[in-house]
Chains A and B, each alone.
Chain A
Amino acid sequence: MNKIKHKINDSLKQPFLRQALNNFAANYLEARPAALAGLDFGEIQSEISAIKDKAIKNLPELIGSFVKQSQQAGARVYYASTGQSAIDYINQLITRKNIKRIVKSKSMTSEEIELNRALGKTGAEVTETDLGEWIIQLAQQKPSHMVMPAIHLTASEVAKLFTKVTGQEEPSDINHLVKIARRELRKKFLEADLGIIGANIAVAENGTLVVLTNEGNGRLVVTLPKTVIALVGIEKLVPSFKEAEPIIKILPRNATGQLATSYVSFIRGPAAHQEFHIILLDNGRLKLRDSADYRTVLRCLRCGACANVCPVYQQVGGHVFGHIYSGAIGLVLTAVYH
Chain B
Amino acid sequence: MEKFVQQFSTEAVKSGATVSGPYDLAGLMEYLRKLIASKKPAKIAACRPADRPDWLSPELIKNLATALPDQTISLITDPQTAETDFDIGITGCNFGIAQTGTIGLESSNSWARKVSALPLIHIAILNQSKILETWSEALELVNRTPSNYYALITGPSRTADIERVLTLGVHGPEELHIILTNE
Contact = CB atoms under 8 A, between A and B. Distances in A.
Interface residues of A, number: 60
Given A219-B113, A261-B154, A267-B148, A177 B171 contact: no
A245 B135 contact: yes
A41 interface: no
B154 A215 contact: no
A215 B172 contact: yes
A149 B171 contact: no
A272 B100 contact: no
Given A27-B164, A182-B170, A264-B152, A214 B157 contact: yes
A148 interface: yes
B170 A178 contact: yes
Contacts of A262: 15, 153-158, 172
Contacts of A175: 167
Nearest to A179: B169
B142 interface: yes
Contact of A129 (B153, B156, B171): B171
Nearest to B14: A259
Given A148-B164, A190-B84, A266 B149 contact: yes
A318 interface: no
Nearest to B148: A269
Of B102, B113, B148, B154, most A-chain CB atoms within 10 Å: B148
A270 interface: yes
Interface in B133-162: 135-136, 139, 142-143, 147-162
B148 A260 contact: no
Interface stretch (A83-91, A119-127, A151-159): A151-159
Given A158-B162, A259-B100, A268 B152 contact: no
Nearest to A258: B154
Contacts of B26: none
Interface in B100-127: 100, 102, 108-110, 113-114, 117-118
A133 to B, nearest CB: 8
A160 B84 CA distance: 30
Contacts of A220: 117-118, 171-172
Contact of A263 (B100, B108, B153): B153
Contact of B161 (A23, A150, A259): A150
B163 A154 contact: yes
Contacts, number: 148
Interface string A85-109: 0000000000000000000000000
Nearest to A106: B161
A259 B171 CA distance: 21
Interface in A172-213: 174-175, 177-178, 181-182, 185-186, 190, 206
Nearest to A154: B163
Given A216-B170, A259-B100, A265-B151, A23 B113 contact: no
A79 interface: no
A263 B150 CA distance: 10
B117 A215 contact: no
A268 B161 contact: no
A289 to B, nearest CB: 27
Contact of A155 (B118, B147, B163, B172): B163
A268 B157 CA distance: 23
B159 A24 contact: no
A157 to B, nearest CB: 10
A268 B147 contact: yes
Of A129, A149, A220, A263, most B-chain CB atoms within 10 Å: A263
A242 B152 CA distance: 16
A270 B107 CA distance: 11
Contacts of A151: 161, 164
Nearest to A129: B171
A260 B96 CA distance: 14
B178 to A, nearest CB: 14
A274 B107 CA distance: 14
A249 interface: yes
A215 B159 contact: yes
Contacts of B109: 271-272
27 contacts: A23-B164, A74-B148, A132-B159, A149-B161, A151-B164, A178-B170, A186-B171, A206-B143, A215-B157, A219-B117, A219-B171, A220-B172, A222-B149, A223-B113, A223-B117, A241-B139, A242-B143, A261-B154, A262-B15, A262-B153, A262-B154, A263-B157, A265-B149, A266-B151, A268-B147, A268-B149, A271-B113
